[in-house]
Amino acid sequence: MTDAVLARVYKQSDLDILAKEASIPIINGLSDLYHPIQILADYLTLQEHYGSLKGLTLSWIGDGNNILHSIMMSAAKFGMHLQVATPKGYEPDPSITKLAEQYAKENGTKLSLMNDPLEAARGGNALITDTWISMGQEEEKKKRLQAFQGYQVTMKTAKVAASDWTFLHCLPRKPEEVDDEVFYSPRSLVFPEAENRKWTI
């Protein structure tokens, strides 16, 4: 009865079943593993701002979640370097890391994974973060807030970034993830990024 389905699900496996059984295209609107439509909006925003994606360095500071996984699966293919800082125990999925390393090798880009937020921000064009507590993780809030101490994006973080740094966040944002000074600064692209979800979808 429809031409396509954009599905937001909890489990990636539900999408896989949908895609296998459907006779029409199934688009991942969000799953526990990936969030590709958000990343398309992010890349459109960066392309509008910088003129090109090739050669940019993305600095991810935060959780090893579905947003990061989608960046890891695509950044190298657009010629972008990726520097990732996650707290110990919150690293990206190992199988995705393995694939991302392969893509970086094939495309001649750099992929660095670490636990130091300032090191990940060093020389970064785009500083990117996301919620520390994703849907379904509410019970872990206290534990996560403790684990992510020192991961807030601030002007101190930006100081080590590239001189033309910008900031991205897929929203809704909480102050512990990024302070007001960065979030509302002219370098913050969060509102064009939010609008661009409309155009990428």
Q: What are the pLDDT tens digits along the chain (201 aa)?
A: 899 999 999 999 999 999 999 999 999 999 999 999 999 999 999 999 999 999 999 999 999 999 999 999 999 999 999 999 999 999 999 999 999 999 999 999 999 999 999 999 999 999 999 999 887 778 888 999 999 999 999 999 999 999 999 999 999 999 999 999 999 999 999 999 999 999 998
Q: What sign does the CA torsion over 160, 162, 167, 168 have?
A: negative
Residue 151 · residue 87 · CB < 8 Å: yes
Q: What is the CATH number of domain 35-200?
A: 3.40.50.1370
Q: Is 170 a catalytic residue?
A: yes
* 174 token code pair: 């909480």
Q: In which residue are the tokens 């990732």 written?
A: 84
CA-CA distance, 74 to 104, in Å (whole number)? Answer: 10
Indicate the Cα dihedral angle 187, 192, 197, 201, nearest 10°. Answer: -120
Q: What is the pLDDT of residue 78?
A: 98
3-state secondary structure (DSSP) of residue 87: coil
Residue 86 · residue 64 · CB < 8 Å: yes
Read off the pTM: 0.95
How is the chain split into domains, by residue range? 1-32, 35-200
The pLDDT tens digits of the residues spanning 8-62 come to 999 999 999 999 999 999 999 999 999 999 999 999 999 999 999 999 999 999 9
Exactly one of 170, 182, 189, 190 is catalytic; name it.
170
